[in-house]
Structures are given as structure tokens and as C-alpha cells.
């Protein structure tokens, strides 16, 4: 008959506690939690947009937009692939801000800074600038 050592449960517990930091030491993958999108161009009421043609949906209406500059910035670690800027978005934000976009003249440069959740097509407008002003 074998006798159990009173130290065996302590040895097993100590081994488990020492191994835990090594098992949890891997770095979790970096995931983009949001992106900032900057669009600059002209709202074209007639649908006649040059090469940077986009569609921005605001207040339930599709608005043709001729983008002269499109940029997206992701808030993740280095080495991630830069986010892509799509050709169709829905603008979300305060109604007066969206009304400014819908009322922009074809000769006004529109600059939009917005936040987007990766993979989504909604742009949450942070700032909208019209130049020259009305």
C-alpha cells in the first residue's frame, strides 16, 4: 500500500501557478475598432461627376459626389493594411449638418470628416466644411 505525500497537492498547485503567465503571454490580435474617413470634393446635383464618383446617402436621398481626395485612417497597431474607402456611404449625424451637405452648391468644395466602424457603410459625420461659404 502506498502512502500519499502531503506535499503533492502543493507541488501541483505551484506548477499550475508558474505555468499560467506563460500560457497567457501571447499577444491578442490587433483589431481596428474604428476608422476616420476624410472626403473632399463637390456635390453634383446633375450626376455629372469626374473620376472620383461616389454616392453619399443623406436624409434618405442618394447624392452624387465627385471626390477629389479620399483618405481613411485606422486606429490600430502598425503593420495593418490601410483601410479601403468605398464608393457608397450613408451619412449619419445631426440634421442641420446633413442639411448643409444636401444644400451645397456644385461649385463649393465639401470636406467631410467622419468616423466609420470597419466593414460598415455608415459615416458618422464629425465635421463638415463648405468652401467658399454661402
**Gyration radius (Cα) of the chain, Å:** 26
Please report, for the chain, the start and end positions of each structural domain, with discontinuous segments joined by +.
Answer: 35-131
For the beta carbon of residue 80, count every other beta carbon within 10 angstroms.
Answer: 12
Angle of CA points 33, 114, 62, to nearest 5°: 120
Is the pLDDT confidence value at 19 over 70?
A: no
pTM: 0.68
The string of pLDDT tens digits covering residues 33-91 is 788 899 999 987 555 545 568 899 998 899 899 888 988 887 765 555 656 677 889 99
Q: Contact 98/126 with Cβ under 8 angstroms?
A: no
The string of pLDDT tens digits covering residues 108-127 is 999 999 999 877 889 999 99
Alpha helices in the chain (DSSP H): 8-23, 95-102
Is the pLDDT confidence value at 92 over 60?
A: yes
Alpha-carbon torsion angle 32, 34, 39, 45, nearest 10: 120
Alpha-carbon distance of 113 to 35, in angstroms, equals 11
Strands 88-92 and 122-131: parallel
Q: Contact 68/17 with Cβ under 8 angstroms?
A: no
Amino acid at each position: 500500500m502506498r502512502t500519499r505525500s502531503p506535499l503533492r497537492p502543493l507541488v501541483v498547485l505551484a506548477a499550475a501557478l508558474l505555468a499560467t503567465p506563460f500560457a497567457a503571454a501571447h499577444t491578442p490580435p490587433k483589431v481596428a475598432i474604428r476608422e476616420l474617413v476624410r472626403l473632399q470634393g463637390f456635390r453634383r446635383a446633375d450626376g455629372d461627376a469626374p473620376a472620383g464618383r461616389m454616392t453619399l446617402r443623406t436624409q434618405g436621398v442618394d447624392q452624387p459626389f465627385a471626390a477629389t481626395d479620399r483618405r481613411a485612417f485606422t486606429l490600430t497597431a502598425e503593420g495593418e493594411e490601410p483601410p479601403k474607402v468605398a464608393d457608397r456611404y450613408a451619412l449619419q449625424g445631426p440634421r442641420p449638418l446633413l442639411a448643409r451637405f444636401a444644400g451645397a452648391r456644385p461649385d463649393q468644395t465639401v470636406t467631410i470628416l467622419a468616423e466609420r466602424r470597419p466593414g460598415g457603410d455608415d459615416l458618422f459625420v464629425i465635421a463638415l466644411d463648405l468652401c467658399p461659404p454661402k
